[in-house]
Structure 1
Amino acid sequence: MKPNNLVEMLDRTVKKHPNKDAFMWKEGGAYKRITYKDFWSRMMHAAAGFGYLGLKANDKVALLSNSNPMWGMTDFASASIGAVSVPIYPTLPSEQINYILNNADVKAIVVENEEQRQKVLNTHSNVEWIITMYPDNQSSYDEGELSFAQLLKYGKEHALPKWENQWRQINRDHLSTIIHTSGTTGMPKGVMLTHGNFLANIEGVQFWLIELLPEDLSLSYLPLSHVFERMAGHYMPLSVGTTIAYAESIDTIQENIQEVRPTVLTSVPRLFEKVYAKVMEEINQGTPVKKNVFNWAVKVGEERYEKYIESSFDQLILGETMSKSFLRKWKLADRLVYQKIKKKLGGRLRGMVSGGGTLNPELAKFFWAIDLPLLEGYGLTETTPVISTNPMIRAKAGTVGKVLPNIDVKVAEDGEVLVKGPSVMKGYYNDDEATSQAFVDGWFHTGDLGQFDDEDYLKIIGRKKRLLVLSTGKNVAPQISESALNDSAYIEHSVLVGDKQKYVISLIYPDYENLEIWAKGKNLQYDSYQELVEKEAALELFNKEIKEHTSNLADFEKPKKWIIIGDEWSVETGELTPKLTVKVNVVEKKYESLIKEAYGSDYSEAVKGEVVNQG
């Protein structure tokens, strides 16, 4: 029998694996652990603590923190009393936090530390309680403030009567969370997701994706405020008894991978792009012999992948895809190359999942070629989030896989992807107009353009609102060019512009981490990013990278000019969303005059801190 709610889902796991590690997290320079049984106990005390503070069903409890076990305790504790969690990205400034707190009618908020506490104190919200996970000993709390340890203490002293009966009465239709969209095209909207939305998505994903096992160890580095991480990297592992290890940050992930040696990894494409860039950088700096061996091994892996794609499901299940002679060649490539790369990723990975953005098909093929299965999926916050995913058996790079078996998807006449099913949101909180616009005849309109291939694998072409219509009559989906450009080790973000123009132009935001390594190797001297991107050697590098990575595109999809950005993009300055995707409308407006000038001239010139370069 299926669980009725997320708390019941966790309860079943706790009873099956009470003494197994549920979470691992870095503290004091070493990883600490907590078992499922102890996690449940503390979660129960947190629930009783919330009850002692007067919180009840349908009250809103916000979370402003990086991922750690207390995040999960808060989430499940609030759910167990029928309250609704409101996750907030910890990178957001006070102004945006203020908007979410007021928009969602938040009554209590759990924050990570003094920095996040101060953000909340600087808002003008009606929050009644501020609970700090890691309080500053010097902080003097006002009325309505306490530490997370105090919350647990109150819970131990004031147990909730009939608590288990309370959470067992929660059904799948009950609201679980309100997650605010990134706001790439306007003010964030509060997406209402139920217990049933998450449970249905878990059930659908498990049909196609890697079968998670209690023996698995999943590395999590995305914030749990990200719906993809919350579902695929949190609820799914907890539903089967998998151990979740938290990375400290994206900057320490290589170190953390070596420490915990995960078997499963979920991420947005950017991490895989960085891994690929590091591998290629090392190979390019190696000897000619090393390069030749590497290239040979990758070609062997690509040949194996092609055999894999051309095989039937029966052949794959029976392992009838490689001849004995080819198998010997592949094992040699595995020993000489694949195993060395795998070792740098902990040596135990059996599958990786990419979501939250477009993955370059060539990148996916590379990881498959070196025997690291990389499965791309597709979804939105409004669909909790997964709509489709590549199956472990016969994944197809360049697609976002097969539609989950418990939802319906169709492509409208104008190419928009429409979705219907139990994992589609309840609606937008306190926004009936936006909700009615999102649904037509029961179908949720994703705003994405897609198509099915002849084997019913879904491909996402781009955003409906971002389709560039050139004055020549050609239609350009920007994501195709942007994905190709972002595959460069020296490009972190790119934005294609050119609606109603003769040709497209690309704004290039460099990957300054790799660019500075390159500059050091060239002995380049500079005092700022602006000065670095103006160097002739840097311009030549970007000329080469851009032309190389767009060589397979149609001529009208290739940028004829590009603008190299010499200042920094961040969440704080407004160009990036909390999940580090580009706010295209903000970027286009910020560089509007520069874009117009680039279209009006055919020469190179440094303007307003950026570099315009003709390709």
Structure 2
Amino acid sequence: MFSSESGSNICSLCSNALECGEKRYRCSECSDIKFCEECYHSPKSIEFHTDKAILPHHCTIETKTDSEYLQSNESDRFYQCFENAFNSFSHRNCIGVRPVANEPTVNWLTFKDVYQNSEMFGSALKLNVKYESRVGIMLNNVPEWYFVEFGCLFYGYTLIPINHYINNDQLLNILKIGEPTILVVSKITFPKLLNVINNYSNLTLIIHVGDDYDQNLKNQLPQQIKFKLYSEFLSTVSEIAPHSPLINGILSVVFSTGSTGIPKGEICKDRDTTNWLKTYASYKKCPISISYLSLSHTQRLMDLTSIFLGGRFLIYSLGTEIEPFIKECSMVRPTYFWNFPTFYNQIYSMYQRRLEILKKEQPNLSNDEVDSKAIRETTNVFGDRIQHISTRGAKTAPHIEIFLKKCWGNRFYNNYGCTESYAIASNGRIRSDVEYKINAIPGFRDDSLYPVGELIVKSPRTIEGYINKDGSNEKNFRNGWYVTGDIVEEYEPGVIRILERVSYSFKSSFGRFISPEIIESNFYSSSLIRNIFIYGTSLHPFLVGIVVPSQLALERFNLTYDQSNIDQHQDLKESIINEINIISKQKNIIFWEIPKAIKLDNTIWTVYNHLLNGSFKFDRKEITKYYQKSLDQLLSGINENVMLQFECLFYTLLFLSNETVTFYNLSPVIDSP
């Protein structure tokens, strides 16, 4: 999974055995390169470095292999796991920050640096804040996040990570449910707090990372809230206090994004937290990675795992635009990379655009040759040393999964889990330590050849429940089992595919179950569609859709995303309608699942306009709200002839005794309203 030594105990130059406990020099760039002390100082050692990183490579003095370190660092306590890791890897690079964007220089903090900074913050907490208090952290990606994280772990405070992309309503709900008394913010996140601060009364202290802050905002704080700069807070410490980690307490309260309702605060204790760390660390190699998403969810887990394994990562905080991020990846050259399906959708679109360009530039190449060249170029976008690349956090469209496997082969993993019960399945196969049940949903795919229904799981990583007091625990946790809310199909024993969220499915006015995400995933195979949102209600028999055209589609018609009248461009619209109809026929989509009207829109869905949630998933609630007027117009604009045709086809199909009839031959093509 990760780039590191394989576990051998042999000097790379002289081939002499290196005993456990014997000093050796480990290369941080090359896979499985280590030298005994004598060979390290030999001029010949330079010849053995295989990685193209600029020489001389950084080497650290070690006494064990990575696998030996992992074995000795493991503990049944989350705190002790990291105490051991920091002691073992003190001289290794841990967290990197690039002082100038797109420049090769990286300022590295070693494990020792991170440990000492964490102790400073934790000692300040112990001196100024009551033991076991809840500390909220709402920062962008900066090293201080980890100092707060480990400071709370070392000294017995409950951490509440808060996604800095969330909207005001979600932030206020998290504050009211999580009840932090201290909140750590930055110049970027402080203004968001001021939008809700007057509606939350439990906050007593704000710690601001960075000396540059808005004095006007500070003046708006209620009088009972103290405001301290991070540096000012640390200055209260005269000596490092002894550690005082929680025993059987709540280590953290991790909140869901709240995209389907009130955010739920997941109670994370020692048992489940330590078990997910051990599971993620079971790959036994240390990663080189890049930290770029909000640290309140999966990115936080990946970074903590990296630290426990002795890996290193570079912090990226230049926004969510894909091109500068890919440029950064090519400079970091990670060995481990993960992201959400929405990101890989964009990579796939880039690949499709590259295909079209190559066909024009090199018309003599066959389609297979063009495709092979585009795949090679795509494979290199994250650098040349990827050993593990994965998607997680949401359903991945089948064509995207095929594409990713084409690029990275068996280095690609489609992982499935949730913060309530981490690491449920990988590549569809449910982990051996996960118990599961599939509860059928009456009326949903009753004719399926395979078990289909809502997945319910239990594992050593399943949390006890939520901190919410709104009935969420009774609904989602039953005798140690967690109700995932995901509809799955078990197409082989112990192997599942994710179909849809239960909350997104609904019955149309004709009594048919509709699963919008499943329908949408079919159309993402089109090179003309960047985003599509399928919508319907229980009051209507048909569906409508919003389509954001791809860059490639716009280029074909000399259009840009800046143009406001994109829906009025009939040639583009007819082209996309034709694509939807072609795909519907190719994939035998039942006619009531084909949108009967669409509207084109030029809005790019991002975390900043909240059409993507803080975990970079499509926020269906916010998307519906944003397009509600257009969706209602589409539904009401379907003319009577289409309605009559639809009803006729539906009842014809309903009463046909020959069940082998192909649905798409009955399907009316969608039309412009």
Matched, 1:43 2:118: yes
Task: Note the C-alpha offset of 1:568.
Answer: 6.2
Please tell me whether residue 89 in structure 1 is matched to residue 163 in structure 2: yes
Residue 357 (structure 1) aligned with residue 415 (structure 2): no
* 377 and 244 in structure 1: CA distance in 2 versus 1, 3 angstrom threshold: same
CA contact (8 A) 2:529 2:553 kept: no
Change (3 A) 1:362 1:493: same
Give the secondary-structure state (helix, strand or coil) at the position aligned to 2:129. Answer: coil
Distance 1:201 1:190 in 2: 18
Cα deviations by residue, 1:41-60 (Å, 9 ceiling, x for unpaired): 11111111111222422x11
The aligned residue for residue 299 of structure 2 is 229
Aligned partner of residue 560 in structure 1, secondary structure: strand
Which residue number in structure 1 is paired with residue 599 of structure 2? 563
Task: Tell me: CA distance 1:219–1:504, structure 2 relative to 1, closer, same or farther (3 Å).
Answer: farther
Shift of 1:194: 1.8
Structure 2 partner of 1:147: 229
Q: C-alpha separation between the residues in 1 aligned to 2:363 and 2:156? A: 58
Q: Provide closer, same or farther for how the CA distance between residues 46 and 554 of structure 1 changes in structure 2, counting only shifts above 3 A.
A: same
Contact 1:486 1:492 in 2 (8 A): yes
Q: What SS does structure 2 have at the residue aligned with 1:109?
A: strand
Aligned equivalents of 1:93 and 1:403: distance in 2?
34
CA contact (8 A) 1:212 1:242 kept: no
- Choose between structure 1 and 2: higher helix proportion: 1
SS at match of 1:27: coil
1:72 aligned to which of 146, 155, 180: 146
Which residue in the other structure is 1:366 paired with? 403
Equivalent residue of 2:457, what SS?
strand
Contact 2:250 2:268 in 1 (8 A): yes
Q: Distance in 2 between matches of 1:290 and 1:368?
A: 26
Give the aligned residue type for 1:230. Answer: R
Deviations 1:139-158 (A, max 9, x none): 48677222223333334x24
What displacement does 1:574 show?
A: 5.2
Aligned to 1:393: none
2:313 to 241, 244, 251: 244
| Residues 362-404 of structure 1, C-alpha deviations (whole Å, 9 max, x = no match) | 1111121233532112222322x332122xxxxxxxxxx2223
CA distance in 1, matches of 2:538, 2:193: 44
- Partner residue of 1:220? 291
1:280 to 332, 344, 352: 352
1:457 & 1:174 partners in 2: Cα distance?
36
Cα deviation code 1:94-121 (max 9, x no counterpart): 45323322321111111122x4223324
CA–CA distance in 2 between the matches of 1:297 and 1:151?
A: 61
1:426 matched to which residue of 2? 464
| Distance in 2 (alpha carbons) for counterparts of 1:547 and 1:586 | 27
> How far apart, CA to CA, are the structure 1 residues paired with 2:418 and 2:341?
15
Shift in Å at residue 10 of structure 1? 1.9
Q: Distance in 1 between matches of 2:388 and 2:582?
A: 29
- Residue 302 of structure 1 corresponds to none
Q: Aligned equivalents of 1:482 and 1:492: distance in 2?
A: 11
User: Which residue pairs with 1:416 in the alignment?
Assistant: 454
* Per-residue deviation, residues 538-594 of structure 1 (Å, max 9, x unmatched): 313422443455441422433232233355655565544222333334444554554
In structure 2, the residue matched to 1:118 is 191
Contact preservation (8 Å) 1:539, 1:613: no
Whether contact under 8 Å (2:355, 2:370) holds in the other structure is no
Matches within 5 A, 1:2-13: 2-13=74-85
Aligned match for 1:21, one of 93, 117, 126: 93
CA 1:487–1:120: 2 relative to 1, 3 Å: same
Gaps of 5+ in 1: 300-332, 391-400, 605-611
Quote the offset at 1:128 in angstroms: 1.5
CA 1:603–1:473: 2 relative to 1, 3 Å: closer
TM-score (norm 1): 0.80
TM-score normalised to structure 2 length: 0.74
Indicate the SS of the match to 1:46.
helix
- Match of 1:555, as an amino acid? I
Contact 2:166 2:610 in 1 (8 A): no
- The aligned amino acid for 2:516 is P
The one-letter amino acid of 1:146's match is K
CA RMSD after TM alignment:
3.0
User: SS where residue 131 of structure 1 aligns?
Assistant: strand
Whole-angstrom distance in 2 between the partners of 1:346 and 1:460: 30
Deviates more, 1:429-438 or 1:283-292: 283-292
Alpha-carbon spacing, 1:203–1:463, altered in 2? closer, same or farther (3 Å): same
Distance 1:212 1:281 in 2: 38
Look up the equivalent residue of 1:465 and give its one-letter code.
S
**Structure 2 gaps, min length 5:** 1-71, 220-224, 442-452, 641-669
Paired residue secondary structure (1:154): coil
- Is residue 438 from structure 1 mapped to residue 476 from structure 2 by the alignment? yes
The residue aligned with 2:43 is none
| Compared CA separation, residues 282 and 294, structure 1 to 2 (3 A) | farther
Letter in 1 for 2:97: W
Distance 1:575 1:337 in 2: 30
Cα deviation digits, residues 245-270 of structure 1 (max 9, x gap): 22233312111111111111011011
Q: Could you say which structure has the larger radius of gyration? A: 2
Query: Secondary structure in 2 aligned to 1:429?
Result: coil
Cα distance change, pair 56–554 in 1 and its aligned pair in 2 (3 A): same
Alignment correspondent of 2:240:
159
Aligned residue identity for 1:542: I
| Aligned residue type for 2:311 | T
Hey, what's the Cα distance between the residues in 1 that align with 2:151 and 2:528?
A: 44
Structure 1 contact 339–347 (Cα < 8 Å) conserved? no
Match of 2:205 in 1: 129
Q: Mark the CA change 1:500 to 1:99 in structure 2 (over 3 Å): closer, same or farther.
A: closer
- Say which SS state the counterpart of residue 408 (structure 2) adopts: coil
Task: Indicate the residue corresponding to 1:584 in structure 2.
Answer: 620
The residue type paired with residue 283 of structure 1 is: L
Q: Using the aligned pairs only, state the percent identity.
A: 19
Do the aligned partners of 1:223 and 1:229 also contact (CA within 8 Å) in 2? yes
The residue type equivalent to 2:597 in the other structure is: K
Pair 1:524–1:121, CA change in 2 (3 A): closer
